[in-house]
Amino acid sequence: MRGRDGEKRLGAAELGEGLGERATLVQFSSAFCAPCRATRRVLAEVAGVVPGVAHVEIDAEEHLDLVRRLDILKTPTVLVLDADGRIVRRATGQPRKADVIAALGEAV
């Protein structure tokens, strides 16, 4: 997972739902992406066991303006947001559960 994304910040308006109390896992997916389905399972599982963490999935094709603004180049891309919506980590491809939990350590 790559490091901080400057001061880029996301809120409920861009995500279509509220931020997690402690952190938010934002997943950019596309319809025919097999790794996206596996990533969805991993992130939902982590959000289910770590208190205050939300998982939001965004269809990249339906949100091209956001994809361009955040330089999302492929799916799945996962952004880890802190409680204020700042992007603290970014990863492309299917993440391992342990890596997601480690990345959350920087956000909370």
* Cα–Cα distance, 78 to 95 (Å, whole number): 8
Q: Is the pLDDT of residue 4 over 70?
A: no
For residue 27, is pLDDT > 50?
Answer: yes
The model's pLDDT over 53-98, given as tens digits with 9 standing for 90+, comes to: 999 999 999 999 999 999 999 999 999 999 999 999 999 999 999 9
Report CA-CA distances (Å) from 22 to 9, 55, 96. Answer: 15, 12, 20
pTM of the full predicted structure?
A: 0.92
The confidence score (pLDDT) of residue 6 equals: 57
pLDDT tens digits for range 11-24: 999 999 999 999 99
